[in-house]
Amino acid sequence: MSLSVKRKISQLYAVLQAYNHAYHALDKPIVSDAEYDRQFSLLQSLIAEYPDYSSDDINKMVGYKALTTFSKVSHEIPMLSLSNVFSEDDLIAFVNRLQQRLETDKPLVFCVEPKLDGLAVSLLYERGKLVRAATRGDGVVGEDVTHNIMTIQNIPKKLLGDNIPERLEVRGEVVMLIADFHAFNNAARLKGEREFVNPRNAAAGSLRQLDAALTAKRPLAFYSYGIGLIEGGKLADSHFQRLQQLKNWGLPLTDEVSLQEETTDYITAYQGLLAGRSQLKYEIDGVVYKVDDIQLQEQLGFIARAPRWAIAYKFPAQEEQTILLDVEFQVGRTGAITPVAILEPVFVGGVTVSRASLHNGDEIERLQLKIGDTVLIKRAADVIPQITQSLQSPSNAQSIIFPQQCPACDSDIKRVEGEVVSRCVSGLYCPAQRKEAIKYFASRKAMNIEGLGDKLVEQLVDAALIKTPADLFNLTTEMILPLERMGEKKAANLITAIENCKHTHCAKFLLALGIREVGEATAKNLAEHCAGDLATLQNTTAEELLLIADVGEVVAQHILYFFRQAHNRDVIEALLAAGIYWDTVEEKTDDLALAGKIFVLTGTLQAMSRNDAKQALQTLGAKVSGSVSSKTDYVVAGEAAGSKLKKAEVLGVTIVNEMELAYMLGLSEK
C-alpha cells in the first residue's frame, strides 16, 4: 500500500510538472484548468495524509522553470501562488481557520479582488524608476522580461507623487483585454496567421517574446495586485490602502477591488463578480480574498507554496476537457450545413454538455480537429458551448470529412467562393428547408397566396399534407378542414386563393423559387432576359448570366447551382403542370421613358418611400439594382446616403437628388 501511494504521489507530481511546463513555459496548455485543479487537489490530499512520502520539490511546486533563452532573475522575496477553494462552505472554513489561528472571533476584514487570468509579473522600481521586470517563473527564479514590459503602455516607467520607497517591487498580472483579444485574432485570421486560444495564452505568449518589437505590437495591459520588496520607505498598514497608494503613484488597479467584513459580504462580493463576469473588460476566473491588516498577514505567515492569509475562490469551470466522439452535419432552414461535435458528456459552466457547434468547415480546419481528440470545451455566460482547442490527438484519430451531399435530401452541397458557409442547393425539395421555402413561395411579394400565413404552412407540413410548393395545388377543402381553427369558409377561401395565384408573372414566379440572393430586381431582369421562357434561363451559361443587369459572379453561381439540381427542376415542372402560367411575351418596355436605364436608390427619401420610387421607376421601364457598378446609369441619393454614393462618385455615375428624380418620373416640372 505504501509503495503504491508513494508511486501515485510521484506520478502526480510528474504529470503536474508536465502540465505546468506546457501551460507556463510553452503557452500551450494540454489540459483544462479544471482538470489541473483536480489533479493538484488530489496531490495535496495525498501529501496531507502521507507527509512522509512527499519532498521539498513537491511541496514547493508553484510555476515553471525559467527558459534558458531569457536571463534569470532571482526573486528577493518569493512570488508564491494562492490556495484555492471551490464552495461557500470551503471559504467559510478558511475564514474560521484564520480566526482560530489568530485566537479571535471578531470578523476579519478582507480586501476582495477579481482574480485576473493572465501572467504574473514583478516590477522593480528604484527611486521611482522602473529598472527591472520579471515573470514569476517557479516562484524563486523567473525570467527577465524588462524590455518587453517597457512596451506595455499602461505601465508607468516612472512613478508619480511623493513618499515613494527607494526600492519598491510591485506585483501584478499582465493580461490582454477581451476586446483587444478578439480584435487581434480577427486581424490574424484575415492575414492567415496563428490565432490565440484565449486571452491568457495571448498575454503569456506576447510577453514572453525574445523580440520586444513583437511584444510592442500586442495590446497588453497590466494591473497591480500586491507588493513584494519595500526598502527605504513605509507604506500603509492596510493591503487595500497600499493598493490605493500604488494607484496614486500611477500604477493600474482593477476597478472591482473592495473591502468586505461580514461573512454575508464575502459571499455577496463573490456572487456579484460571478454575475457580472461577462461584462468585465478582462477575463477573471475567481475572486481573491486577502486579510487586509498587514500585521495580521505577517502574524499568519506562509505555508510551502502560498500565504496563509489569502485564498482564491474559483468560479465554476467555464472550460473542461472531453473526447470528441463524432461529428454530425445538420441542415439549417436556409440550407446552411453546420457540423456539430458529439462529445463525451462533461459538466461545464453549470450544465452537462454533450454537443457543441463547430460552425463551418473552416473552423474544423483551424482547430485541426479529428474524431477521437481530447478537446477543450468552453461555455461562458450561458452561451452555446464551443470547442476552443484540440489538446491531444491519439494515433488512431480519424479525419473529419465534410459531406458533398446534403444529409437531409442527398442533393449537392456547394460553397460559393468568398463565403464560409456550405449550403444544400435544393431549397424547394430539401426537408430541412421545407417550411421556409413554402412560406417564401406564398409570401405577398412572391405568389401572394392570401390567407396562407406562416402558422398555416407549418400546420400543413406537420400534417404531411405538403412537402414542396407544388403540393399546395393538390390541396382540397376536405384535406384541410381537420386542421386546427380551420372552418369551411376559411378552407374554401384558401383553396380559391391558391387557384387565383396561378396566373402570375414570370418575375414573381422566379422570385418565389427562393434562389439565394435573387431579389425582386434580379428576378425581373432574369425574366426579361429569357422573355418568360424558363427553359432558356435554365440553359443560360455563367458567362451569359453575367451580362444581365444586377447579376454578379456570386449570384450567377447561385442560379446555376439551383437549376442544376434535379429535385428543383422536378418541383418547377410540377408547379407548371399544376397550372401556373404567365404571359409568354413579357410587356415590352422599349418605348417607355426610362427603358433600359439602371437606377440605384440610396439614403432616405422624403416625398416617397424607396419602394414607391422603385415601383415608379420600373413602371417607366427602368431597372432598379441593389448595388452600384459601372453599368449603373443613375444613383438617387437621399438623406444620409452612404457607401453607394461614394462608389458612384468614384465610378463617375450620374447622381440625382429626390427633386430631380421627381422630374424624371414626370411628377414635377423643372
CA distances (Å), origin 293, targets 50, 115, 230, 475: 34, 20, 17, 82
309 with 328, same domain: the answer is: no
Decide the pairing of beta strands 598-602 and 634-637. Answer: parallel
302 with 324, same domain: the answer is: no
CATH of the domain at 529: 1.10.150.20
Q: What are phi and psi of 97, to 5 degrees?
A: -65, -40
pLDDT (0 to 100) of residue 51: 73
Contact 214, 204 (CB under 8 A): no
435 with 531, same domain: the answer is: yes
Q: 3-class SS at 463?
A: coil
Phi-psi region of 602 (alpha: psi -120 to 50; beta: other; left: phi over 0): beta
Letter for the amino acid at 333? R
The pLDDT tens digits of the residues spanning 148-157 come to: 999 898 999 9
Is 404 inside a domain boundary?
no
Supply the DSSP symbol for 276: T
Q: 3-class SS at 323?
A: strand
d(CA 179, CA 608): 42
Is 405 inside a domain boundary?
no
Identify which of 262, 283, 48, 247 has the alpha carbon closest to the alpha carbon of residue 159: 247
d(CA 405, CA 425): 10
Q: What are phi and psi of 258, to 5 degrees?
A: -150, 165
252 with 335, same domain: the answer is: no
Is 251 inside a domain boundary?
yes
Is 47 inside a domain boundary?
yes
Is 230 inside a domain boundary?
yes
104 with 168, same domain: the answer is: yes
The percent of residues in the chain predicted with pLDDT above 70, rounded, is: 94
Helical spans, DSSP H, in 387-431: none
- Which cell is 499 given? 387557384
**Confidence label for 456 from pLDDT (cuts 50, 70 and 90):** very high
pLDDT (0 to 100) of residue 101: 93
Beta bridge partners of 311: 289
- Which cell is 481 given? 378542414
- Which cell is 443 given? 409570401
**Confidence label for 630 from pLDDT (cuts 50, 70 and 90):** confident
Phi-psi region of 349 (alpha: psi -120 to 50; beta: other; left: phi over 0): left
pLDDT at 247 over 90: yes
Residue bearing cell 502540465: 19
Between residues 351 and 564, the one the model is more confident about: 564
Helical spans, DSSP H, in 383-480: 434-442, 454-462, 477-480
pLDDT (0 to 100) of residue 1: 44
Distance of CA 290 to the CA centre of its chain: 35
**Confidence label for 670 from pLDDT (cuts 50, 70 and 90):** low
Between residues 155 and 10, the one the model is more confident about: 155
297 with 374, same domain: the answer is: no
CATH of the domain at 657: 3.40.50.10190
**Confidence label for 405 from pLDDT (cuts 50, 70 and 90):** very high
CA distances (Å), origin 483, targets 455, 468, 486: 11, 19, 6
CATH of the domain at 345: 2.40.50.140
User: Across residues 278-306, what is the average pLDDT?
Assistant: 91
Letter for the amino acid at 501? C
d(CA 389, CA 501): 53
Residue bearing cell 508619480: 160
476 with 386, same domain: the answer is: no
pLDDT (0 to 100) of residue 211: 80
Identify which of 327, 356, 112 has the alpha carbon closest to the alpha carbon of residue 240: 112
356 with 244, same domain: the answer is: no
Structural domains in the chain (count): 5
Identify which of 251, 172, 197 has the alpha carbon closest to the alpha carbon of residue 30: 197
Choosing from 349, 383, 399, the residue where a domain stops is 399
Is 510 inside a domain boundary?
yes
337 with 279, same domain: the answer is: no
Beta bridge partners of 328: 340
User: Across residues 364-391, what is the average pLDDT?
Assistant: 83
**Confidence label for 590 from pLDDT (cuts 50, 70 and 90):** low
Contact 393, 369 (CB under 8 A): no
User: Across residues 365-372, what is the average pLDDT?
Assistant: 92
Cβ contacts of 301 within 8 Å, gap of 6 or more: 307, 308, 309
d(CA 520, CA 602): 17
- Which cell is 327 given? 461529428
User: What does the CA dihedral 205, 208, 209, 214 come to, rounded to 10 degrees?
Assistant: 70
Q: What are phi and psi of 620, to 5 degrees?
A: -90, 15
pLDDT (0 to 100) of residue 587: 46
pLDDT at 619 over 70: yes
User: What does the CA dihedral 456, 460, 463, 466 come to, rounded to 10 degrees?
Assistant: -170
**Where is average pLDDT lowest: 17-31, 103-117, 398-412, 470-484?**
17-31
Residue bearing cell 510551502: 304
Give a three-class secondary structure readout of 532-579: CCHHHHHCCCHHHHCCCCCCCHHHHHHHHHHHHCHHHHHHHHHHHHCC
Is 477 inside a domain boundary?
yes
Choosing from 314, 340, 372, the residue where a domain stops is 314
On the CB side of 474, CA atoms within 13 Å amount to: 13
Choosing from 523, 547, 577, the residue where a domain stops is 577
The helices-and-strands tally (H runs, E runs) of the chain is 25, 24
Contact 112, 262 (CB under 8 A): no
- pTM tops 0.95: no
- Which cell is 391 given? 489538446
Contact 358, 428 (CB under 8 A): no
pLDDT (0 to 100) of residue 510: 94
Residue 553: in which H helix or E strand, if any? helix 553-564
**Domain span at 489:** 431-577
248 with 367, same domain: the answer is: no
| Residues labelled as active-site residues | 115
* Mean per-residue pLDDT of the chain: 87
pLDDT (0 to 100) of residue 209: 83
The pLDDT tens digits of the residues spanning 30-48 come to: 887 778 778 877 887 787 7
221 with 361, same domain: the answer is: no
User: What does the CA dihedral 602, 603, 609, 610 come to, rounded to 10 degrees?
Assistant: 10
In 10 A of CB 401, how many CB atoms? 10
The pLDDT tens digits of the residues spanning 99-141 come to: 999 999 899 999 999 999 899 999 999 999 999 999 998 889 9
573 with 474, same domain: the answer is: yes
Is 641 inside a domain boundary?
yes
pLDDT (0 to 100) of residue 110: 96
Q: How long a stretch of residues is the chain?
A: 670
CATH of the domain at 186: 3.30.470.30
pLDDT (0 to 100) of residue 533: 87
Letter for the amino acid at 71? S
Beta bridge partners of 143: 72
